Amino acid sequence: MMDIGFIGLGNMGGPMAKNLVQAGHKVKGFDLGAGALEIATANGIETVSAAAEVAKGSQAVVTMLPAGEHVRSVYLGAEGLIAQADPDTLFIDSSTIDVTSCREVHEAAASAGHAMLDAPVSGGVAGADGGTLTFMVGGPDAAFARGKPLFEIMGRNIVHAGAAGNGQVAKVCNNMILGITMLGISEAFTLGETLGLAPEKLQEISSTSSGSCWAMLNHNPIPGLVENSAANRDYKPGFAASMMQKDLRLSQAAAHQAGVPTPLGAEASALYTMFVKSGRGGLDYSAIIKMLQEA
């Protein structure tokens, strides 16, 4: 049994922390929201009133926060986790954040003698609840070995992607592929139907041809073509368009920083931003097909 701290007990962090408790660990948690704290208490988490209190006495601290600015504010500074934690604490940041903030916090943690992993996830709230998340992990081998037993409680697929920040790199690159392919599928099915080809026929042909891809087979944006797609339930997410927009923006920030041209990623980011601005960020990301159909 370990003493674990957990900061950010929202839609994802709440159930992840609950799974750590159910596996027999002692979990101390903090969140800015009263509602999140109430649910956490009901799930057997000891709640405290500041991030610094979570740090004290914890062998590992997991954070699951909205964005880079929140992660920096929780880790850095005199009252931050890095300054307040016991020596050699293991930090696991599972938030999806920009690569630059991630590597900056890694560096600060290492300079203070702590071990750190960036470990963003895929699998959504259902994966967090069921303990079936995929973890993409960046950081030193020794830190990964310490974190692995915790990832195995909260997730099913755990991949060590390499050095500090590589978990975030994997996450934004993967989701850039997903956003671009969803737009490609949406364009092709809209064009095909407009030219008189039934979506069922295009699916039958493309799913066994060179155009086939994961999003087409699993998240097809046309209702009724694949089992369990969000399109079959009026595009209730799933993976919300606003989340896809966030991840595409992060991949664009990383691309600019690295000086790598990603014209399709840029276009996907612009189109998802337009979709979210139309008030539909709460729909599944596959609902982007509606915008193309309207055009």
Q: What residues line the site for ligand NAD (CB under 6 A)?
A: 7-13, 30-33, 36, 51, 64-66, 70, 73-74, 95-96, 121-122, 124-125, 243, 246
Taking the alpha carbons at both ends of the chain, their separation in whole angstroms is 57
The span from the CA of 18 to the CA of 129, in Å, is: 8
Residue 186 one-letter amino acid: S
- For residue 64, the minimal CB distance to ligand NAD (Å) is 5
- For residue 183, the minimal CB distance to ligand NAD (Å) is 20
- Please, which residue, 12 or 102, has the CB nearer to ligand NAD? 12
- Please, which residue, 32 or 142, has the CB nearer to ligand NAD? 32
The span from the CA of 199 to the CA of 233, in Å, is: 18
The owner of tokens 């969000």 is 230
Handedness of CA 187, 193, 195, 200 (dihedral sign): positive
- Please, which residue, 29 or 192, has the CB nearer to ligand NAD? 29
DSSP one-letter string for 201-213: HHHHHHTTSTT--
The span from the CA of 209 to the CA of 253, in Å, is: 34
> Burial of 76 by CB count in 10 Å (0-12 exposed, 13-18 middle, 19+ buried)?
middle
- For residue 44, the minimal CB distance to ligand NAD (Å) is 18
- For residue 268, the minimal CB distance to ligand NAD (Å) is 17
Q: Please, are residues 8 and 63 in contact by the beta-carbon 8 Å criterion?
A: yes
Dihedrals phi, psi of 290, to nearest 5 degrees: -60, -40
| Residue 59 DSSP one-character state | S
Catalytic sites, residue numbers: 171
- Please, which residue, 207 or 249, has the CB nearer to ligand NAD? 249
- For residue 240, the minimal CB distance to ligand NAD (Å) is 7
Nearest to 105 by CA among 63, 156, 51: 63
- Please, which residue, 20 or 225, has the CB nearer to ligand NAD? 20
Residue nearest to ligand NAD (CB): 10
Dihedrals phi, psi of 228, to nearest 5 degrees: 65, 15
